[in-house]
Structure 1
Amino acid sequence: MNFDFSDDQKMLKEQVSKFLSDKCGYDVVRRVLESDELYAEDVWKGLVEMGLTGTAIPEEYGGLGLGALELCVVAEELGRVAAPVPFSSSVFLATEAIKLAGSEAQKQKYLPKLAAGEIIGTLAMAEGTNAPSPRTVKASLKGGKLTGTKMPVPDGEIADIAVVLVNTGGSGDKALSLAIVELNGSGISKEQLKTIDPTRGHAALKFDGAAAELMGAEGEGWDLVRRVLDGAAVWTAFEQVGGAETAMWMARDYALERYAFGRQIGSYQAIKHKLADMYVKIELARSNSYYGAMMLNDNGAELIEAAAAARISATQAYIYAAQENIQTHGGIGYTWEANTQFFYRRAKLLALSLGSQLYWRERLVTQLEARNAA
């Protein structure tokens, strides 16, 4: 069985890699980090011109009509450079939510604009530090009016539309529904939030009777959002693998350049062990990510388990590689001038972007228990 990508997918990977190498170097990441820019508009424009924002959108809605695997290769390359763009929010979350739950009219209205990069989308779930669940979501939708606060919302300050998890008054899991809202309308305010990674903005969105439309059937929001998160977990795992691998190579290159007591520090056993541990964790994450990609592409029966395993292992690999990259660089790795911080910041941010490790472990264990009991 061939678990590798096709020649066409590898060609896409090379094209994206070349573009990002040319247009999204560390100077661009630092520019966004140190300025008031909310994202790298020049890089985003280039991704749009390549058609990547419409990668998995069907052709009848203005997209390229490709699939989940193509998004995997794009995600990995974006992760390699810690790209400061709203790709995951708009493509992995908002676009996929509309594809899954939107009515035909909603798809016709929003998907062509998302594909063309005319608008940016996001998914608004959390309402503070509590994990979103049927018990914690208080934002409500009544009579087409949305009321409540969502925070933190990824790329919320620059997004034009948001798919919002709302309480529509049912019981248990049936209490939640999805709604779509245009963020330039009345009754909406945005507040920028500070996070560990300013190159990927987050905001608080406050709704006070804002006009919104129901997406999907009422009471199906919790099931729908978990299905969206399963797909996003796989794509984010590829993004994390890409970032982790870059951190590993940064550490390796520095270990070969830096001399201490007349020897390359890479010749010391402690450094060798660090690099070997990074490699092992990354390869484990890559294996899980490839299996998750296969399940996602084929809509396989083990998608939930595969997505959770990819999410957990990729998060652990990225955090470990980013931390050890700083340690390998020694004192200079902690300075503001060092580029090691870009990957540490992104690793920490992505670790919570789709829910905590605890959420994904519980999802994995629950699914395995249910399958074993069947």
Structure 2
Amino acid sequence: MEFGLSEDQKLLQESIGRTLEKVSPLERVRKAADEHADYAGDVWQALAELGVAGMLIAEEHGGMGMGLLDAALASEMLGRHVAPAPFVATAVMAPIAIGGAGSKAQQAAWLPKLASGKAIAGVAVSERAAGAREGAGIAASGGRLTGTALFVVDAAGADIFVVADKTGGLHLVAGDAKGLTRIALTSIDLTRPLGELRFDNVEAEPLNTGNAGAALKRMVDAGRVMLAADTLGAGWAMIEKAVAYAGERKQFGRVIGSFQAVKHMCAEMAAELEPCRSLIWYAAHAFDTMPDEASLMAAHAKALTSETGRFVARTATEVHGGMGFTDLVGLHYWFKRIGLSRQLLGSPEQVRHEAAVIQGWAAD
């Protein structure tokens, strides 16, 4: 059996890529990073007009009703162009949570807004997905939340938050809820701002119409696949820049790309990264059609791509020599994006342990 992209999927990815080339060149990325903007509104609006915001939202709510593989193709393009726009939480994780565990009223209230790109959703599940941290965690009681959530994805400018409590329950919290304190967190990646949320007896709507535990698991799996796809795109961008530089930079009267050592570095990057593509595609396919394999494959995709992405980021920078560390070249945007994706929703070490637990090789 041949597993590949359909013509529609190829056209979708090409369309997103062309749009990002226009609206999110490196100059636009640099401006958003320098201004510490919540996100680039013009970039997000352009993506929303393509339907990216509503890819996973059912057509009845104004979305496109597509699959996770389609979303992974979009995420790859976002990583390739280091787009300063919300996506993982707003367009993937939050719609999965609301669609899987929200009531009809909750779905009608938020899914159309998310599908149109008019609302931004943050997701606070780090303590459940990446391990507990001292002083962090959310307690739920009587429809109210208390505690602290760290590393909230798409937190900047969010109109609504999907929050996981200590027991795995899911809740919707308005961005302007009384008692909610929002704090911007500084990370290495300025293209995707993170946040900290502090809850002081904050009113919340439970997402419990469906199976909240299953919805939490699925949203984390989907988020991990998206981060892997983002790293894939960022890694390939760095490889292409390294190859282009090696074909222009001269040393000892020859372009450095003619030296065997540099050829090997570029070839090794491509050989290591390309197998991640098929694993990401399979993980996305399993999410949509083989739920029993979804968590395992998402863990594999996240772990392998995170490790490979770090190797590619380092090697591509080395090919550039001293120029690789300058702001002028801009490699650091991809380098840092890969670094943040490596840690969000579980480090490689953690997700490998989860994979071992799923397969019965380790204790939970």
Same fold (TM over 0.5): yes
- CA separation of 1:2/1:300 partners in 2, compared to 1, >3 Å: closer, same or farther? farther
SS at match of 2:359: helix
Q: What is aligned with 2:12?
A: 12
Q: Does residue 37 in structure 1 map to residue 29 in structure 2? A: no
| Deviation at residue 83 of structure 1 after TM alignment | 0.7
- Of all paired residues, the percent bearing the same amino acid is 34
Partner of 1:60: 60
Q: 2:253 matched to which residue of 1?
A: 262
Further displaced range: 252-261 or 36-45: 36-45
Q: Which residue of 2 aligns with 1:143?
A: 142
Q: Is the contact between residue 237 and residue 314 of structure 1 (CA under 8 Å) also seen in structure 2?
A: yes
Q: Deviations over 1:13-39 (max 9, x none)?
A: 111111111111111111111123221
Q: 1:102, 1:216 within 8 Å by CA — same for their partners in 2?
A: yes
Which of 273, 288, 291 aligns to 1:282? It is 273
Counterpart residue number, 2:105: 105
Aligned residue type for 2:317: I
Aligned match for 1:359, one of 321, 342, 350: 350
- Specify the code of the residue in structure 1 equivalent to 2:98: I
Partner SS, residue 165 of structure 2: strand
- Residues 127, 311 of structure 1: CA spacing in aligned structure 2 closer, same or farther, 3 A cutoff? closer
Q: CA deviation at 1:236?
A: 2.1
SS across alignment from 1:176: coil
TM-aligned CA deviation for residue 69 of structure 1: 2.2
Secondary structure of 1:57's partner? coil
C-alpha separation in 1, matches of 2:158 and 2:131: 20
Q: Distance in 1 between matches of 2:286 and 2:28?
A: 35
Structure 2: gaps spanning 5 or more residues? none
Whole-angstrom CA distance in 2 between matches of 1:291 and 1:208: 42
- Relative to structure 1, is the Cα distance of residues 324 and 135 closer, same or farther in structure 2, using a 3 angstrom cutoff? closer
Is the 1:137–1:165 contact (alpha carbons within 8 Å) kept by the matching residues of 2? no
Aligned partners of 1:301, 1:58: CA distance in 2, in Å?
23
Q: Which amino acid aligns with 2:80?
A: R
CA contact under 8 A between 1:157 and 1:191: conserved in structure 2? Answer: no
Q: Which residue of 2 aligns with 1:343?
A: 334
Does the CA-based 8 Å contact 1:56-1:65 persist in structure 2? yes
SS at match of 1:336: coil
1:139 partner SS: strand
Give the Cα separation in 2 of the matches to 1:8 and 1:126: 34
Q: Give the secondary-structure state (helix, strand or coil) at the position aligned to 1:302.
A: helix
Q: Is the 8 A contact 1:3 1:290 kept in 2?
A: no
Superposition pairs of residues 284-299 of structure 1, within 5 angstroms: 284-299=275-290
Query: Against the structure 1 CA distance between its residues 81 and 368, is the aligned structure 2 distance closer, same or farther, given a 3 Å change threshold?
Result: same
Cross-structure match for 1:159: 158
**1:205 positional shift:** 1.0
Deviation at 1:8, TM superposition (A): 0.9
Q: CA deviation at 1:235?
A: 2.3
1:24 equivalent in structure 2: 24
Letter in 2 for 1:17: G
Q: Within 1, Cα distance between the matches of 2:340 and 2:307?
A: 12
Q: Deviations over 1:293-327 (max 9, x none)?
A: 22122134322221111111211222111111111
Contact 2:52 2:91 (8 Å CA) reproduced: no
For residues 333 and 48 of structure 1, do their structure 2 counterparts lie closer, same or farther at Cα, with a shift above 3 Å needed?
A: same
Determine helix, strand or coil for the equivalent of 1:310. Answer: helix
User: Secondary structure of the equivalent of 1:206?
Assistant: strand
Could you tell me which runs of 5 or more consecutive residues in structure 1 were left unpaired when the two chains were aligned.
168-174
Contact 2:54 2:63 in 1 (8 A): yes
Closer, same or farther: CA 243–138 of 1 in aligned 2, 3 Å: closer
Q: Within 1, Cα distance between the matches of 2:263 and 2:192? A: 32
Q: Please list the CA deviations of residues 21-66 of structure 1 after superposition, one character each: whole Å capped at 9, or x if unmatched.
A: 1111111111111123221111001111222101111111111122
Aligned length: 362
**Equivalent residue, structure 2, for 1:330:** 321
Counterparts in 2 of 1:58 and 1:223: CA distance versus 1, 3 Å:
closer
Partner of 1:3: 3
Q: 1:137 touches 1:166 (CA, 8 Å); kept in 2? A: no
Matching residue of 1:132: 131
Partner residue in 2 for 1:121 = 121
Q: Quickly say closer, same or farther: Cα 1:136–1:291, change in 2 above 3 A.
A: farther
Q: Does 2:225 align with 1:226?
A: no
TM-superposed CA distance for 1:77, in Å, is 1.1
In structure 1, what is the Cα distance between the partners aligned to 2:132 and 2:195?
Answer: 20
Counterpart of 1:118 in 2: which secondary structure? coil
179, 186, 199: which one pairs with 1:194? Answer: 186
Runs of 4+ in 1 over 3 A off after TM superposition: 130-138, 220-224
1:321 match: secondary structure: helix
Q: Residue 359 of structure 2 aligns with which residue?
A: 368
Cα gap change, 1:217/1:65 in structure 2, threshold over 3 Å: closer, same or farther? closer
- CA distance in 2 between partners of 1:10 and 1:78 (Å): 15
Give the C-alpha shift of residue 201 in structure 1: 0.4
CA displacement at 1:135 relative to structure 2: 10
CA distance in 1, matches of 2:339, 2:304: 14
